[in-house]
A and B are shown apart, each in its own frame.
Chain A
C-alpha cells in the first residue's frame, strides 16, 4: 500500500463548548503501514488533539473503539481503511447518550448486561480443582463466551433504540444464553423467569442487525432463539 490521503467527516460535539453537534470535514495523510481505521484515527488525533474516541488494545479484543463507520457499527481497529468509501463518515454508536465526539455513555448497555446476572450461579461447595464439563457440553459455549461487549450489536438494534431501559438487547441476551447453556450453572429456572417478559426478551423481532454487525462474527439472534426454545420446552 502506498502513501495516500484519506477524507473524513467526523461527528464532533464537546458539551462544554458546542451548542449542538456538527460534522467536521478533515483529511489525513497515511503511511503505507497504516492499514486500519484506528491507524488513521491516531494520525487524526496527532493533527487535532481535541478529537476524542476510546481505544485500548488496538486488536479487536477490548471492544473500546466501537463506532458507527459509514453508517455501520464496527471496531475501528478491525476495519480496513482502504475498504471504506470516502469521505469516511464517523459517528458515535447510535442510540446512546454522547459524552464527547465518538465517546458514548454505555451505562444503559451495562445495566442491561448486569441484569441477566452474567456470572456462574452454583451453590454446591467448589471442588478441589475445578467444576468439570464434558467436551460436548463445553462445545455449546462456543460462539457465546467470545463476546467483548463492544455494544456494536445492541446499538444497531431498533428494539434497543426504542426500549433501551426495558429490552435487554442482543449483547445481554447472548450473555444470558451463555449461562443458560452452561451445565455448571444451577439457576436456569430463575434465569428463564427473569427473561419471561414482553420487553426483556420478546422485544426481539429477529431483525438480525446484531448478527450483521458483530465484529467477532457471533450470532445473538440464534442465542435468543435458543432461549425461546428453552422456554417452550419448559412450558409445553
Chain B
C-alpha cells in the first residue's frame, strides 16, 4: 500500500469537552471532600469508614474516580498519538491503556462498596 497521510477521523470535540467536564468534576470533588474532612476530622479508621459509608459520598467518590480515569484516558491517548507513530503499536497501547483504566475503575468500585 502506498503510504499516504490520512487524516480526518471526524471526532475530537466530545473528548475535548469530556476532558474539561471531568476536570471540573474532580475540582469540585476535591473542594467537597476537603470540606468534609475538615468538618468531621476523622482520627480513626472507623471514622474514615463512616465518611465513606455515606451513600452520597460513595456516589461522588466513585464519580471522581470515573472522571479521573476518563480524563487520564484522553491524556494518555494524546501522548501515544504524539509520540508513537507505528499504527499497530499505537493501537496496542490504546487497548492496554483502556484495559488498565477499566480495571482500575472496577477496582475502585469494589473497594468503595466493601467499606
Seen from chain A, the residues whose Cβ lies within 8 Å of a Cβ on chain B are 159, 162-163, 165-166, 193-194, 196-203, 205, 228, 231-232, 235
Contacts and interface: CB of A to CB of B under 8 A. Distances in A.
A193 B12 CA distance: 11
Contact of B10 (A159, A163, A197, A203): A197
B5 interface: yes
Contacts of A228: 13, 16
Contacts of A162: 82-83
Interface string B74-110: 0000100111000000000000000000000000000
Contacts of A194: 8
Contact of B81 (A193, A199, A232): A199
A200 B12 CA distance: 10
9 contacts: A162-B83, A163-B82, A165-B7, A197-B11, A198-B11, A198-B15, A199-B7, A202-B13, A232-B13
Interface of B: 5, 7-17, 78, 81-83
Contacts of A193: 10
Contacts of A166: 5, 7
Most buried by A among B5, B9, B12, B78: B12
A11 B16 CA distance: 40
Contact of A201 (B5, B12, B14, B17): B12
Contacts of B16: 202, 228
B17 A232 contact: yes
The B interface is mostly helix, strand or loop, or mixed, namely helix
A109 to B, nearest CB: 15
A149 B103 CA distance: 48
B9 A197 contact: yes
Contacts of B13: 196, 202, 228, 231-232, 235
Nearest to B5: A165
A120 to B, nearest CB: 22
B16 to A, nearest CB: 5
A196 B10 contact: yes
Given A166-B5, A198-B11, 20 more contacts: A159-B82, A163-B82, A165-B5, A165-B7, A193-B10, A196-B10, A197-B9, A197-B10, A197-B11, A197-B12, A198-B9, A199-B7, A201-B12, A202-B13, A202-B15, A202-B16, A228-B13, A231-B13, A232-B13, A235-B14
Nearest to A202: B12
Contacts of A232: 13, 17
